[in-house]
Amino acid sequence: MGSLKNWMLSFLAGPYPGIALFCFAFAESSFFPIPPDIMLIPLVLARPEHWLLYAVITTVASVLGGMAGYLIGSYGGRPVLLKFFASPKVDLVQHYYDKYNAWATAIAGLTPLPYKIFTIGAGTFKVNFHVFVLASIGSRGLRFFAVAGLTRLFGHQVMPIIKDYFNVATIIFILLLVGGFWAVGYLAKRIQRSKS
């Protein structure tokens, strides 16, 4: 895995690091094992004035890669998932999709969970494609803009911040998101009952 990371980072010294970032972010959403943050952070550190551009590149590529993962799942189904992931992980993803539908994609897009299992799973378990894309745009955009923005603000000091607090912030955000939707659903049911 370390040599794979070094191979990825070697593209930063090339003439088109933005294209390399796009390719790796695309691949990570459907089959590649290393998240694009590994390239995004050094690029923003090297050219902080372009942090917004790099966040856009990573988000767009990740969403397009997620759409490719969705198609892989649609045509390959559960056997494709089982070739790449252990059966308990596949069962867990199916459980999340059965319970939360495309919100499972949004949650996975923000966290360190392997995003590709959720993109392929979305196609396998027939999640609504448009909702899947919207959930991917929201979650991946939030994640990569946060990482690029923090890197722009704090420079080289960002690594411990992302390492120590990013996952905690993600969990808090997810709890607030789920809690908000639960509250809206609860209020809608109460209003419906009061009308009947």
Dihedral sign, Cα of residue 177, residue 181, residue 187, residue 191: positive
Task: Give the model's pLDDT for residue 159.
Answer: 62
Task: Give the model's pLDDT for residue 112.
Answer: 63
CA distances to 118, 120, 179 from 103, in Å: 11, 15, 13
Task: Give the model's pLDDT for residue 58.
Answer: 95
Output the tens digit of pLDDT for each of the chain's 196 residues. 557 667 767 777 778 888 999 999 999 888 777 788 888 888 998 889 999 999 999 999 999 999 999 998 888 878 877 877 778 877 877 877 777 776 777 777 766 667 787 888 888 888 888 888 988 888 888 889 988 998 898 877 766 655 555 555 555 555 555 555 555 556 556 666 766 6
Task: Give the model's pLDDT for residue 60.
Answer: 96
